[in-house]
C-alpha cells in the first residue's frame, strides 16, 4: 500500500490495533508468538498480542562493532546470544579472533543487562518451530529488521512475519523479500521519521517497558 500523505496515529497502541486487524489470520494460533523490538515496538506489539490472544515477548537486537573501525557493522546479535557475522568485512578490516570475541562479548553483556532490566524474572518465549510476528514502531532501521529476521531464522522460527505501522516503499520491498510475510499500514514513497507517524511519541523508559512486559500476555506453558 503506497501513500503520498500520512495521517499520524494517535498512539502506538492505536497503531497496534490497526495492525491486529491485518493479522487476524493468526488469531489465537497456538504456534504463533509476538515479539516487539524495544523500545517503541513493545507497546505496538503488546496491543497486537492482546487482541489476537497470543503470547508476547521482547527481542533485543544489537549491531556488533569494533572500536577504531568507526560505526562499521560487523554483524548482529540477540540478547540470547544468537549471532551472525560479516566474515568478508572482518577479513577486509584484518580483525583478529580476539577483536571479534571482545566485540561480541561487549555487545552480549550490554544486551543482557538491558534485557534483565526489562524482563526481571519473566521467562523468555521459545522461538523454534513457531510463527513469529516481529513488531516495530518504525524507529528501527531496515537493516536492524533484516538482521532480526535472519537471527530468528537461526533460532529455527517456522515463519517470520514483520509488522510495522509505516515503512517507506524501498524498505517495504526489502523486507518483503526477507520475511515470510510483511504488513505495513502505510508505505510512503520516501522515508518518514517515526516521530511524525504518531501524535504522541514519547520514548518509553526502562521502567515503563518493564511494567508493560509484566502485564503482557504470556505463553500458556508458563501460566499453568
CA dist 96 and 179 (Å) reads: 33
- pLDDT (0 to 100) of residue 1: 42
SS3 201: coil
Place of cell 578490516: 93
First CA to last CA across the chain, in angstroms? Answer: 42
Q: How many CA atoms lie within 13 Å of 41's alpha carbon, on the beta-carbon side?
A: 26
pLDDT above 90: percentage of residues in the chain? 75
pLDDT above 70: percentage of residues in the chain? 95
Q: Which residues on adjacent β-strands are paired with residue 154? A: none
Which region holds residue 94: left if phi is over 0, alpha if psi is between -120 and 50, else beta?
A: left
pLDDT tens-digit map of 134-151:
999 999 999 999 999 999
CA distances, 199 to each of 8, 25, 196 (Å): 6, 29, 7
- pLDDT (0 to 100) of residue 218: 87
Cβ neighbours of 138 (radius 10 Å): 27
Q: Which residues on adjacent β-strands are paired with residue 75? A: 64, 85
pLDDT tens-digit map of 184-224:
999 998 888 999 999 999 999 999 999 999 999 988 655 54
pTM of the predicted model as reported, rounded to 2 decimal places? 0.92
Amino acid at each position: 500500500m503506497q501513500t503520498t500523505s500520512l495521517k499520524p496515529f494517535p498512539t502506538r497502541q492505536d497503531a497496534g490495533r490497526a495492525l491486529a486487524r491485518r493479522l487476524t489470520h493468526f488469531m489465537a494460533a497456538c504456534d504463533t508468538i509476538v515479539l516487539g523490538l524495544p523500545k517503541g515496538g513493545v507497546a505496538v506489539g503488546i496491543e497486537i498480542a492482546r487482541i489476537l490472544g497470543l503470547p508476547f515477548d521482547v527481542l533485543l537486537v544489537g549491531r556488533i562493532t569494533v572500536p577504531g573501525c568507526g560505526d562499521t557493522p560487523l554483524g548482529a546479535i540477540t540478547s540470547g546470544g544468537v549471532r551472525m557475522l560479516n566474515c568478508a568485512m572482518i577479513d577486509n578490516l584484518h580483525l583478529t579472533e580476539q577483536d571479534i570475541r571482545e566485540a561480541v562479548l561487549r555487545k552480549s553483556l550490554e544486551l543482557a543487562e538491558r534485557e534483565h532490566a526489562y524482563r526481571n524474572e519473566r521467562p523468555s518465549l521459545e522461538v523454534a518451530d513457531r510463527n513469529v510476528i516481529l513488531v516495530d514502531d518504525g524507529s528501527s532501521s531496515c537493516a536492524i529488521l533484516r538482521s532480526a529476521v535472519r537471527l530468528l531464522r537461526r533460532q529455527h522460527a517456522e515463519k517470520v512475519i514483520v509488522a510495522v505501522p509505516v515503512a517507506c516503499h524501498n524498505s517495504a520491498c526489502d523486507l518483503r523479500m526477507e520475511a515470510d510475510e510483511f504488513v505495513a499500514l502505510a508505505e510512503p514513497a520516501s522515508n518518514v521519521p517515526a516521530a511524525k507517524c504518531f501524535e504522541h511519541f514519547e520514548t518509553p523508559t526502562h521502567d515503563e517497558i518493564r511494567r508493560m512486559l509484566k502485564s503482557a500476555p504470556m505463553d500458556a506453558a508458563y501460566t499453568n
